[in-house]
Amino acid sequence: MKIAVCVVVAPSTDTKVKIGADGKTIDMSDVKLELNAYDEFAIEEALRLKESTGDGEVVLFSVGSPATIKEEIRKGLARGADRAVILDTDTTQLDSSAVAALLTGEIKAFEPEIIFMGKQSVDYDSAQVPSQVAAAMGWPVVTKVSSLAIEGGAFRAEREIEGGVEVVEGTLPAVISAEKGLNEPRYPSLKGIMAAKKKPMEEKAAEAPAPVLVIDCLELPPPRPEGKIVGEGPEAAAKVVELLRNEAKVI
């Protein structure tokens, strides 16, 4: 089975975000980049699918500058993906639709039966790319999948919704976006890491379409106001309750 996985390299989740001088971009100096955490579930699911079918190919697709993201993409190869394609373009002006258009153009040529990706990237959290890729492919999409079973050409996906679980059934081809908990991603083995060096990583110059959405400005949330001390010990309890009820209005 031919399996495509879209991955993105994003700032690590413990980054202290600083806004760049232009007020519209994140200052990327001193930012540690990581393979998007949700994409790890997507890669793992793709590898398991390949292993269960006994043959096939798992190919990673990513948009970005090879020099900055290559090392992280290789970690996906170390886990077991067969090869990677990096669409080399300047990502500062890209919106989700441009990313989806770039990915779709490349993935079409590969002719996969299924496309996996994380439910969203941890930087802008838009969660748009899975649906937009599916629309461009003309395929169904199931987003935020927390459990997946595939047999023959049919799939059964579970997604957690408010107060319950939604079960979606359909036939391939399809786009599946991964929620945390879809599986437990494996650690790359040392042999996998050694083998990753020899796996093909194709870099292709890509022309991004003009974005539909343009970021006007970025702002950090205002600093939290200083707390106030209303008293000490049991005597303060009544005052705290009163403030919680009347000022914060939370009880």
Partner 1 sequence: MEPYQGVDYMDLDTLLTEEERMIRDTTREWVSARVIPIIEEHYRAGTFPDELIPEMAEMGLLGANLDGYGCAGLGAVAYGLIMQELERGDSGLRSFVSVQGALCMWPIHTYGSEEQKQKWLPGMANGTKIGCFGLTEPDFGSNPTGMITRAEDKGDHYLLNGAKMWITNGCISDVAIVWAKLDGRVMGFLVEKGTPGFSTRRQGHKMSLRASVTSELILQDVKIPKENLLPGTESIHMKGPLSCLTQARYGIAWGAIGAGMACYDEALSYGKERIQFGRPIAQFQLFQRKLAEMITEITKGFLLNLQVGRLKEQGKAHPSHVSMAKRNGCYWGLWIAREARDMLGANGITDEYVVMRHMCNLESVKTYEGTHDIHTLIIGHRVTGLPAFEG
Nearest distance from C-beta of residue 78 to partner 1, angstroms? 6
Using rule CB under 8 A, residue 31 touches partner 1: no
Rounded to a whole number of angstroms, the minimum distance from the CB of residue 199 to partner 1 is: 12
Q: Which is nearer to partner 1, 3 or 196 (CB)?
A: 196
Interface pick for partner 1 out of 194, 213, 218, 240 (rule CB under 8 A):
194
Lookup result for tokens 């006994």: 54
Contact call for residue 51 and partner 1 (CB under 8 A): no
In DSSP terms, 9 is beta-bridged to 35
Closest approach of partner 1 to the CB of residue 200, in Å: 16
Give 73 or 85: the residue with its C-beta nearer to partner 1. 73
Binder among 76, 112, 130, 188 for partner 1 (CB under 8 A): 188
* Sole binder of partner 1 in the list 154, 189, 241, 244 (CB under 8 A): 189
CA distances from 229 to 78, 220, 233, 245 (A): 53, 27, 11, 17
CB of 141 to partner 1, least distance (A): 31
Q: Which is nearer to partner 1, 154 or 194 (CB)?
A: 194
Query: Which of 138, 187, 214, 223 touches partner 1 by CB under 8 A?
Result: 187
Under the binding rule (CB under 8 A), the answer on residue 191 touching partner 1 is yes
Of 95-103, 191-199, 209-217, 242-250, which segment contacts partner 1 by CB under 8 A? 191-199
Distance from C-alpha of 88 to C-alpha of 39, rounded to nearest angstrom? 19
* Contacts with partner 1, 59-88, as mask; x by CB under 8 A: ------------x--xx--x----------
Q: Which is nearer to partner 1, 191 or 249 (CB)?
A: 191
- Report the interface residues with partner 1, using CB under 8 A: 14, 71, 74-75, 78, 187-191, 193-194, 196-197
